[in-house]
Structure 1
Amino acid sequence: MLFLLLDFFKQFSNAEKVTVVDSTANGGSGITISTPSLHDLQIYGVIVTILLCFIVFGGVKIINKVAPAFLMPVLFSILCIYIGVLSAPGLNSPKGITGLSTTTLVDNWSADYQRTNDAGVPDPNGALLGLFFPAVTGIMAGSNRSASLKDTQSSIPIGTLYATLLTTMMYLLSVFLFGALATRQELLTDRLLTATVAWPAPAVIHIVIMFMISWAFTVVSLALASLIYYYVSLKGKAGDWGDGFKSAYFQLALRSLRSLGANQVHPKNWYPIPLIFCRPWGRLPEDVPCHPKLADFANFMKKKGRGMSIFVSIIDGDYHESAEDAKAVCRQLSAYIDDKRCEGVAEIIVAPSMSDGFRSIVQTMGLGNLKPNIVVMRYPEIWRSENLTQIPSTFVGIINDCITANKAVVTVKGLDEWPNEYQRQYGTIDLYWIVRDGGLMLLLSQLLLTKDSFEDCKIQVFCIAEEDTEAEELKADIKKFLYDLRMRAEVIVVTMKSFEAHADGSSRIDDTQEAYTSAQNRIKVYLSEMKETAEREGRPLMEGGKQVVVNEQKVDKFLNTMLKLNATILRHSRMAVVVLVSLPAPPLNQPAYCYMEYMDLLVENVPRMLMVRGYRRDVVTLFT
């Protein structure tokens, strides 16, 4: 490849000669001007083209990220050019640069094509248009992206049209300014006229001269100057006025937070900010601040691990007595987050109980639009085996608080078996879309596919239809919806008839049927004990300071629904890598113990499950 490039460069001459005919001189004498060698331009062009190819192949995401890096030098260059034009001519300016002059503008106003070797006759209008056309493609590219605006009705008149008019005026103004700045011959021969007049040309020239004298000493000098600047900024003199850089970062963060506003984020710009509940059930050793797999799961919820996560732990006790312990635990949790390479912050709350602490967290955690929108916690699988009777009321209270605070909930079952980033999974990611959640399960499944562990998996979406006649129509609607969202997934519709048949007569669910019977018996025993206690104390049925109503028919109906759903999951998704299912809301005025029995029946014999509940708004949309 190197030899091909060298042979390509040899095909061009060392220099390009242009003959300029001075029509004002007697006899039309010609002046031959030798322009610089094309070799440098060819090498620079190849390098720039390769860089642009990498950027284009990287996709729109990389282009959007590097756009500000390209925009700032352009704006600065335009500003420097205008300053140079207004201040021209300088002390050492060429004779052809007259400064802004109406006489020069009048002399350059009419057409005067030079009879050079390359253009003996005036170029046609089409060729001249083709020469200038690339200058306006940027304007058109910006206008073509108007559909991506948040509010097109107000943004197009205010933003797009004003930007187009401003750019057009800037182009026309540049033509008139340069036409009044230099003579016709200077405009023709000085290919870097903008660099000649731009401010601050001397500084640029000085750096270039330094490299021409000795590039090695120049590099060493610039490196030493940079190191001194970095050392001073890092080790700056201690004083009571604080760190200037920290102040600048603070002001930048404050402005960015204010720029997000207080309005709800558009679904196109929605991003998960998980609140990781580190120790909700207190079953970890004291020296382990968080379950190791919770941090891995938090990274799975964010594309390429980017985005903010908030890791929260609650200490039972009095704040005045446990304040120092909370600080020590916070430092330990922060070190854990850094060790797991999570972009997040650690927060420790001291509260009289787990429920009170979480209720404070869910109301106050975060600032503006940087508040957490998803609560992530482990499912309490061991609550019955270890006789942790306080867990049901705490679990139900957390879910109800999330619903009230408009937070999504993701409960992870089988967290101990959750894969890390190096364990590849092969199979399907199955979604049981039963309750409208704004597309949160779809979004989570797509985020899982972006990880190396799940990139070889496929998505299956299961939906429930009332009748067989509705199945095909429902399937077509969902497939079109997924196609419009550019999400690849197989759609499977389960009708209520097959839903009930598989739950009633299949031999595959013998274990589930036994679990159903056991749960039914335990609930009956629990409710009878509650009634006996209430009758003995002469009060109504109470739990957590609230009155509960026991309706055995509703309890059996809920249990039966969980049984059918679990049977369907075991029939279709027994070998799935992970199952996502809608998390049902706790029934009103029912004991928390009953809800835990419902959930245990739902997750029975499913090794790895995510129970997801949305929060009354869309997180994916077809509309801009």
Structure 2
Amino acid sequence: MPAATDASEPKGPSFGTFGGVFTPCTLTILGVIMFLRFGQVVGQAGLWAALAVVLASKAITTLTSLSLSAIATNTRVRGGGAYYLISRSLGVEFGGAIGVLFFLAQAISVAMYVIGFTEAVVATYPTLAPHSVTIASFVNMAVFVCVYIGAGWTIKVQYGILAVLGLSMLSFYLGAATDFSTTLLADNLSPHYREGQGFFTVFALFFPAVTGIMAGANMSGDLRDPARSIPRGTLAAVVVTSLIYLTLAVLLAGVRPHEELIDNNMVIRDVAVWPLLITAGVFAATLSSALGSMMGAPRILQAFARDEVFPWLKFFAAVSGPSREPRRATVFSFVIAEACVLLGDLNAIAPIITMFFMITYGLLNLATFYESITRNPSYRPTFRYCHWSLSLLGAVGCLAVMLLINWLWALVAIAVIGAIYAYIRFMEIEGRWGDLRGGVAFERARQALLRLEEEAYHPKNWRPVVLALASSAWSRPLLAIYGQWLTAGHGVLTLAQVVRGDVEDHAERRQRYENALKTFIAKEELRAFAAVVVENHLSDGVESLVQCHGIGGFKPNTVLFGWPKSESASLAFGASLRLLSRLRRSVICARLTADNAPPEPGMSEQQTHDALWDAPVGTIDVWWRGMQNGELMMLLAHLLQRNPEWRRNQIRVLRVVPNAEAISDVLDHINELAAASRIRVEPVVVVSNDAMRTIRETSAAAAIALLGFEAPVEGDEAAFYLRMEHLAGGLPRVLFIASAGGMALDS
């Protein structure tokens, strides 16, 4: 079975938010439609409907930008833009299909913009019409050379183009301010549709103008800080261009009658104070769009080739020069664009290119929706202004726009992407990176259990599958309640019990205990399963449960114990800990001394239940001693805080150091851990030569403390028990944790 790899990407030249994201997005959005077709939109639809067209179009791209921002801040973004983000969420099949289509759409778009540039030149200088193909090829070559030299050079060129575009808009605004007429504005408020035209046809004409939001994301591999630059630059471009289009609509409605707005494609030039600047603006808009597509296409192909979805594309994964440019992929993009330039008329395939862009945006929204709705613990975006409902609305909006623009081409585009998806699935190509397929299968366990079993494991999809053990009947519900809190609706909790004796003699008893457990689960409103085994010895029962309970991805990876009440139980307890260590299971030992008091006299059953479910006041203290147990401790603290009862409890990550000189380095280390894990914590460093006393004193008022440990060696059980008891001292609530691995903070 071939496998798509997740190769690391070398660090190339880095650009900031303005140059790497805002500029290419803005230049792609403010394109030829603004200069040559927006007057027609206002003239036919009227001002009110034109404003509605702009706002509706921007609403869809804003929703997509929010999804893009969320998913870009939830993963370490490398080159490939939308392809990389979609493939890492929806899997190799959707990622591969998007990689092919998005690359082709970008490469062919270069030809479209080059031909648009040539048409503008010919319209300005009609004597050059016989040489239009030569001019187009020359411009395509010039675009190719700029990009081949490197992204740094191209960004500088785009700065100049942005300046020209700004001057051309200033020229129009000054002219419109002089010619503005409230009488014309009043007449242009209502629609003046020509025969066969309506709101939706005008909407379809305008919408491609706002589809440039991925221009910055396509540069993801060249950004200094993609997680910061992509959200800020993309949303800033959406806001700025929205203001431009809205003010442009008002001014156009007030400077020319609707007949001229509809019939004169160069009405903006006629209104401007300096018409030559509008001509330069048209040239700049088409040229900048061509440059943006020529920069984006090879980077998508390079990222796609690096993942080895199709091994025969690996040739294009190479980088060139000190700035590590994708020059092989750039040459191939140029060849495709030139072939389309020589064909001349791209009207036949232009609609399906637009559909490919829309499918990309729709799938990006869908990826963010699934990341959120499956409640994957690894989905922790630092961008907070996106909800699953907005992502779903964006996906539905993209589909609606596709059908609105051209339902036939929409179906063709969907069929093409479906065929590529089916081919990749038929070839059984595996993605060696974490994606949502395991998470979706987990949430739909009964329907997708077999698929979950076949999924390649990745730390990104780690979830707590907790087996909570008690040696007698579940008379202490706190262990079960903490088990539910630690899974936080993201994992699976099983309440287990070992019945001492022979299975032939105690089969009926085993069933009674299981029924009692199910009754307990229903009474306490737990989302948990019940498991009971009959064994002669507790350690044998633990071994049976850990090895045999669960199916596929639902096998327990974490065992939750209650801490022994006395030293006499330490021998059997230590043996169980060693067994679980050998079986590669994480262990949580809950020492809950403050919460084991009987209910107060006179309390009703409901009051007792509510008291048990009240989270204690204080912080969640994670005592850091390294990654071995620290990763699991951090994730469990995060999951604990996700519960409504614990949301007001701040997570503290604490460490004891022997001298003050180490404080700065340790604080930096903790802050880096927090940033990588996207978990909000308060770092605390305490200088002390007595770690045990410091832990007891510092966490005395904590709601709960998390401390790591290692299973005791044989013969050291009693000393281990006394040592841990001394460490915890009078702390009211302690979780002793031993991690078996399998999770990663930065996944």
Tell me which residue corresponds to 2:669: 481
Pick aligned residue for 1:607 from 732, 736, 740: 732
Say whether residues 1:403 and 2:598 are aligned partners: no
Q: 1:314 to 1:108 in 2, by over 3 A?
A: farther
Pick aligned residue for 1:572 from 680, 684, 698: 698
**Cα distance in 2 for residues equivalent to 1:435 and 1:18:** 65
Tell me which residue corresponds to 1:257: 453
- 1:355 Cα offset (Å): 1.4
**Cα distance in 2 for residues equivalent to 1:569 and 1:16:** 68
Pick aligned residue for 1:298 from 480, 483, 487: 483
* Aligned AA (1:117): M
Q: How does 1:107-126 map to 2 (within 5 A)?
A: 116-118=265-267, 125-126=283-284
Tell me which residue corresponds to 1:392: 570
* Aligned AA (1:492): V
- 1:109 Cα offset (Å): 5.4
Tell me which residue corresponds to 2:628: 437
Pick aligned residue for 1:129 from 287, 306, 318: 287
Q: 1:495 to 1:116 in 2, by over 3 A?
A: closer
Tell me which residue corresponds to 1:448: 640
- 1:445 Cα offset (Å): 3.1
Q: How does 1:9-408 map to 2 (within 5 A)?
A: 38=50, 41-42=53-54, 44-49=56-61, 51-52=63-64, 55=67, 60-61=73-74, 68=90, 116-118=265-267, 125-132=283-290, 172=337, 195=406, 198=409, 200=411, 252-261=448-457, 265-266=458-459, 269=460, 271-278=462-469, 280-282=470-472, 284-285=474-475, 291-302=476-487, 304-323=488-507, 325-327=509-511, 329-330=513-514, 333=517, 337=521, 344-366=528-550, 371-381=555-565, 383=566, 391-408=569-586
Question: Deviation digits for residues 576-604 of structure 1, max 9, x if unmatched?
Answer: 222222335324324x5555444444444
**Cα distance in 1 for residues equivalent to 2:652 and 2:483:** 23
**Cα distance in 1 for residues equivalent to 2:98 and 2:581:** 48
**Cα distance in 2 for residues equivalent to 1:159 and 1:484:** 35
**Cα distance in 2 for residues equivalent to 1:349 and 1:159:** 57
SS at match of 1:612: strand
- 1:403 Cα offset (Å): 1.9
Q: 1:405 to 1:460 in 2, by over 3 A?
A: same
**Cα distance in 1 for residues equivalent to 2:480 and 2:661:** 41
Q: 1:139 to 1:17 in 2, by over 3 A?
A: closer
Higher alpha-carbon deviation: 473-482 or 57-66: 57-66
SS at match of 2:455: helix
**Cα distance in 2 for residues equivalent to 1:460 and 1:449:** 12
* Aligned AA (1:608): R
Question: Deviation digits for residues 108-160 of structure 1, max 9, x if unmatched?
Answer: 95779x984347896654321234466578758869999xx999xx9995997
8 Å Cα contact 1:274-1:308 kept in structure 2 = yes
SS at match of 1:254: helix
- 1:260 Cα offset (Å): 1.8
- 1:574 Cα offset (Å): 2.1
- 1:186 Cα offset (Å): 11
- 1:401 Cα offset (Å): 1.0
* Aligned AA (1:611): F
- 1:482 Cα offset (Å): 1.0
Question: Deviation digits for residues 416-465 of structure 1, max 9, x if unmatched?
Answer: 73998974654333344457634133333344344444444444555455
* Aligned AA (1:428): T
Tell me which residue corresponds to 1:490: 683
Q: 1:71 to 1:340 in 2, by over 3 A?
A: farther
**Cα distance in 1 for residues equivalent to 2:523 and 2:316:** 45
Question: Deviation digits for residues 278-336 of structure 1, max 9, x if unmatched?
Answer: 4x231535xxxxx433343234334x521233433222233344445545654654565
Asked which structure has the greater RCO (Cα within 8 Å, sep 6+), the reply is 2
Question: Deviation digits for residues 232-263 of structure 1, max 9, x if unmatched?
Answer: xxxxxxxxxxxxxxxx98784323332225xx
**Cα distance in 1 for residues equivalent to 2:587 and 2:312:** 35
Tell me which residue corresponds to 2:226: none
Question: Deviation digits for residues 388-427 of structure 1, max 9, x if unmatched?
Answer: x5x3333122111122222222111117739989746543
* Aligned AA (1:253): L
Q: 1:61 to 1:411 in 2, by over 3 A?
A: same
SS at match of 1:376: strand
- 1:489 Cα offset (Å): 3.1
**Cα distance in 2 for residues equivalent to 1:361 and 1:461:** 33
SS at match of 1:437: helix
Flag structure 2 segments of 5+ consecutive residues without an equivalent.
Answer: 1-33, 76-81, 106-129, 137-262, 271-275, 320-325, 353-400, 415-443, 597-609
**Cα distance in 2 for residues equivalent to 1:608 and 1:186:** 63
8 Å Cα contact 1:295-1:340 kept in structure 2 = no
SS at match of 2:56: helix
Higher helix share: 2
Q: 1:325 to 1:570 in 2, by over 3 A?
A: same
8 Å Cα contact 2:671-2:683 kept in structure 1 = no
Say whether residues 1:472 and 2:650 are aligned partners: no
Pick aligned residue for 1:585 from 711, 719, 731: 711
**Cα distance in 2 for residues equivalent to 1:480 and 1:186:** 52
Question: Deviation digits for residues 206-252 of structure 1, max 9, x if unmatched?
Answer: xxxxxxxxxxxxxxxxxxxxxxxxxxxxxxxxxxxxxxxxxx98784
8 Å Cα contact 2:492-2:528 kept in structure 1 = yes
**Cα distance in 2 for residues equivalent to 1:171 and 1:408:** 54
SS at match of 2:462: coil
SS at match of 2:471: coil
Structure of larger gyration radius: 1
Flag structure 1 segments of 5+ consecutive residues without an equivalent.
Answer: 1-11, 20-32, 83-105, 204-247, 286-290, 500-563
TM norm structure 2:
0.45
Q: 1:260 to 1:462 in 2, by over 3 A?
A: same
Tell me which residue corresponds to 1:224: none
Superposed CA RMSD in Å reads: 5.8
* Aligned AA (2:497): S
Q: 1:128 to 1:275 in 2, by over 3 A?
A: same
Higher alpha-carbon deviation: 483-492 or 427-436: 427-436
**Cα distance in 1 for residues equivalent to 2:350 and 2:505:** 85
8 Å Cα contact 1:311-1:346 kept in structure 2 = yes
Q: 1:607 to 1:370 in 2, by over 3 A?
A: same
**Cα distance in 2 for residues equivalent to 1:295 and 1:161:** 54
